[in-house]
Chains A and B, each alone.
Chain A
Amino acid sequence: MASHPAQPLELNGTNASVRAYIENTLATLVHGLTLPPAEAHLSLILKRRANSASCMINAVTGALEACPRVESTRTYSWPGKTVYEEWKFTVILKVLAILDQAIRTGQLISKRDIYYIDPEFFRAQYVIDGIIDDLAYTIGVDRGALNVDTLIPRIEDGDQIEISQIRWVLVIEKEGKGYPDLSTRLFLRKLFDLALNRNRPLRFYALTDGDPHGMAIMSTYKYGSAAHLHENARLSIPQLQWLGLRVSDIIAVPEVLGDKALLSLTERDRRKIISMLRNSPVWACNGPEKQWRAELQRMLFLNAKAEIEILYECSGGLEGWIERRMFRQE
Chain B
Amino acid sequence: MDIFSLAVTEKQVLTAGGSSDIKVHSTADADFPLVQSIDNAHNVGCHHIVTDGRGSRAITSGFDGKIKVWVCQDGYWAAEQKLTADLEAAKAWAIALSEDGQYLAGVNQEGRIKVWDLAADATQIRDHETKGSYGTCIDLSADGRFIATGHADGSVYIFTTETGRMPFSLAGLVKNVRTVAFSPAGKILAAAGDTRVIVLYDTASGEQIASFTGHTAWIMSLSWSSTGEYLLSSGFDGKIKVWSMQTKTCVATLSETDKAVWSAKWLPKIGKTEAFATAGENCSIAFYREATG
Contact = CB atoms under 8 A, between A and B. Distances in A.
Do A and B interact?
yes
A294 B18 CA distance: 6
A84 interface: no
B55 interface: no
A297 B152 contact: no
Contacts of B218: 251
Interface string A290-303: 10011001101101
Contact of A285 (B19, B64, B65, B152): B19
Interface in B130-154: 134, 136, 152
Query: Majority SS of interface residues in chain B?
Result: loop
A278 B4 contact: no
24 contacts: A248-B236, A248-B260, A251-B217, A251-B218, A252-B236, A264-B152, A273-B63, A274-B44, A277-B44, A277-B64, A278-B44, A285-B18, A285-B43, A290-B1, A293-B1, A293-B18, A294-B1, A294-B18, A294-B281, A297-B18, A297-B45, A298-B2, A303-B134, A303-B136
Chain A contact surface mostly: helix
A259 interface: yes
Contacts of A300: 47, 63
Contacts of B175: 259
A278 B1 contact: no
Most buried by B among A273, A301, A303: A301
A297 B63 CA distance: 7
Interface of A: 248, 251-252, 254, 259, 264, 267, 270, 273-274, 277-278, 285, 290, 293-294, 297-298, 300-301, 303
Contacts of A267: 109
Contacts of B37: none
Interface string B228-269: 000000001100000000000000000000001010000000
| Contact-size category for B | 20 to 34
Contacts of B47: 297, 300-301
Contact of B4 (A251, A273, A285, A297): A297
Contacts of B262: 301
Contacts of B4: 297, 301
Contacts of B226: none
Nearest to A277: B44
A277 to B, nearest CB: 4
Nearest to B44: A277
B194 interface: yes
A259 B47 CA distance: 22
B152 A303 contact: yes
Contacts of B281: 294, 298
Nearest to A304: B176
B134 to A, nearest CB: 6
Contacts of A298: 2, 281
Nearest to A298: B2
Contacts of A259: 175, 194
Contacts of A297: 1-2, 4, 18, 44-45, 47, 63
A303 B218 CA distance: 13
Given A267-B109, A300-B47, 18 more contacts: A251-B218, A259-B194, A270-B109, A273-B63, A274-B65, A277-B45, A277-B64, A285-B43, A290-B1, A293-B1, A293-B18, A294-B1, A294-B18, A300-B63, A301-B47, A303-B134, A303-B136, A303-B176
Contacts of A248: 236, 260
Contacts of A270: 109
Interface string B202-230: 00000000000000011000000000000
Contacts of A277: 44-45, 63-64
Nearest to A248: B260
A297 B45 CA distance: 8
A248 B43 CA distance: 24
A293 B152 CA distance: 24
A322 to B, nearest CB: 22
Interface string B269-293: 0000000000001000000000000
